[in-house]
């Protein structure tokens, strides 16, 4: 029997309640499959932990996490702890520390998922965002000079290394080639005259190795507009850290909402564990009410199953989610239903069992 060790960081707000449903689903899959088991280790890290201990995770937290096959994360951040502290000391620390430089975020309108766009066919929204996840605008390079003085200055420097840009772009070309899809690069070289000119050049350069991949290059502002007006032009998409962050929330909005969008933070070399999470935050406005949508965290489980080599199960989990959404009885208020968080998880488990 194969055993997968999963570190669970439920985190803040709705994090714990949505993860519980994902774990239910993963356990059901393991039971049905019969060839593997999952062992969970829960880490109590997050904002509450910070308020008690003055830190977001244990001193040797990264060493502890290193031993796992995967990390399953809920959400980080809550009023009372400054966001730049909570996120930099936990979520971003793991992404960077474990060199999870690829962030895979599907923007696919599943059957039954609500879509605010009119005149758009369901199959027209089927994109795979490959977001740079280790540097760029999120490098954390900068300074804060003359704080509080009249001549106060802050610097926030983007860092785009040749290695960093090349590896994410190459990864995206590989995916597009393997899946026989087009590849769109999203940048902003008209205004960002160093970083994005460099990005575009590398996109061209690496592209020479992939003559079979049809490519497009968009400015980020136009890309945002086309995602709404003509989403079918995007298949595989590669973009920088910040643009990817913003555009995938837009993607979530057109493909079922924040309660459905998932992301995998991947270290392709598998030197470190990869991390699976819904892309939404801790949703303080609805935390504790039991009405958060767990489908995003269940989709993350589908991504984890793919990563573990159980793609057939990954697909079955998505199909089970679709059945639940099409039926429409067991969906949460953000999707127009009245179900509680746990009822959605139960419904997915029940469909899987049939």
Q: Which residues bind Mn ion (CB under 5 A)?
A: 245
Per CB under 6 A, 12 contacts ligand IPM: no
Q: Rank residues 158 and 337 by Cβ distance to Mn ion and give the closer one.
A: 158
Q: Give Cβ neighbours of residue 211 (< 8 Å, ≥ 6 apart).
A: none
| Residue 94: both structure tokens together | 């793991």
* Token pair 């960077």 in the structure block, residue: 96
Q: Rank residues 134 and 292 by Cβ distance to ligand NAD and give the closer one.
A: 292
Per CB under 6 A, 89 contacts ligand IPM: no
What beta strand segments (E) does the chain contain?
Answer: 2-11, 36-43, 70-75, 102-108, 126-132, 136-145, 153-159, 183-187, 215-219, 236-239, 262-266, 274-278
When CB distances are held under 5 to 8 angstroms depending on the partner's kind, the choice from Mn ion, ligand NAD, ligand IPM, none that residue 167 binds is: none
Per CB under 6 A, 87 contacts ligand IPM: yes
Closest contact distance (angstroms) between CB of 291 and ligand NAD is 7
Q: Rank residues 167 and 280 by Cβ distance to ligand NAD and give the closer one.
A: 280
- CA angle 308–18–287, rounded 5-degree value: 155
Find the DSSP H helices in 1-155. Answer: 15-33, 47-53, 61-66, 83-86, 92-97
Segment near ligand IPM (CB under 6 A), from 87-95, 148-156, 250-258, 302-310? Answer: 87-95
Q: Contact residues for ligand NAD (CB under 6 A)? A: 14, 18, 75-77, 83, 87, 91, 258-259, 277, 280-286, 292-293, 296, 334
The answer to whether the CB of 305 falls within 8 A of the CB of 318 is no
Q: Rank residues 165 and 347 by Cβ distance to ligand NAD and give the closer one.
A: 347
Figure out which of the listed residues 8, 125, 255, 279 binds ligand IPM, where binding follows CB under 6 A: 279
Per CB under 6 A, 252 contacts ligand IPM: no
Residue 113 and residue 332: Cα distance in Å, rounded?
12
Query: What is the enclosing helix (H) or strand (E) of 195?
Result: helix 195-207
The footprint of ligand IPM (CB under 6 A) covers 87, 91-92, 245, 279
């Amino acid at each position: 029997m194969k055993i997968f060790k999963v570190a669970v960081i439920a985190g803040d707000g709705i994090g714990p309640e949505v993860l519980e449903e994902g774990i239910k689903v993963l356990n059901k899959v393991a039971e049905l499959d019969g060839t593997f088991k999952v062992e969970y280790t829960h880490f109590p890290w997050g904002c509450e932990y910070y308020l008690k201990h003055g830190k977001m995770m244990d001193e040797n937290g990264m060493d502890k996490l290193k031993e796992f096959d995967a990390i399953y994360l809920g959400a980080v951040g809550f009023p009372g702890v400054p966001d730049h502290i909570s996120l930099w000391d936990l979520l971003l620390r793991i992404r960077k520390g474990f060199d999870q430089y690829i962030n895979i975020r599907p923007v696919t309108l599943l059957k039954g998922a609500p879509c605010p766009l009119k005149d758009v066919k369901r199959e027209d929204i089927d994109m795979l965002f490959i977001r740079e996840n280790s540097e760029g605008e999120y490098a954390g390079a900068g300074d804060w000079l003359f704080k509080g003085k009249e001549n106060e200055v802050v610097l926030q420097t983007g860092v785009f290394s040749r290695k960093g840009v090349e590896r994410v772009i190459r990864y995206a070309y590989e995916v597009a080639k393997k899946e026989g899809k087009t590849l769109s690069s999203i940048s902003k070289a008209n205004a960002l005259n160093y970083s994005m000119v460099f990005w575009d050049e590398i996109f061209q350069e690496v592209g020479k190795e992939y003559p079979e991949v049809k490519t497009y290059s968009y400015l980020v502002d136009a890309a945002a507009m086309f995602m709404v007006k003509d989403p079918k032009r995007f298949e595989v998409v590669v973009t920088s850290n910040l643009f990817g962050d913003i555009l995938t929330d837009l993607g979530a909005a057109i493909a079922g909402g924040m309660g459905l969008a998932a992301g995998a933070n991947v270290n392709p070399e598998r030197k470190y564990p990869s991390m699976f999470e819904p892309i939404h935050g801790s949703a303080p406005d609805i935390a504790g009410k039991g009405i958060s949508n767990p489908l995003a965290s269940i989709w993350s489980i589908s991504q984890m199953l793919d990563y573990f080599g159980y793609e057939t199960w990954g697909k079955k989990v998505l199909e089970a989610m679709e059945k639940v959404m099409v039926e429409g009885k067991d969906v949460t208020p953000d999707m127009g239903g009245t179900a509680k968080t746990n009822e959605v998880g139960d419904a997915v488990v029940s469909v899987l069992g049939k």
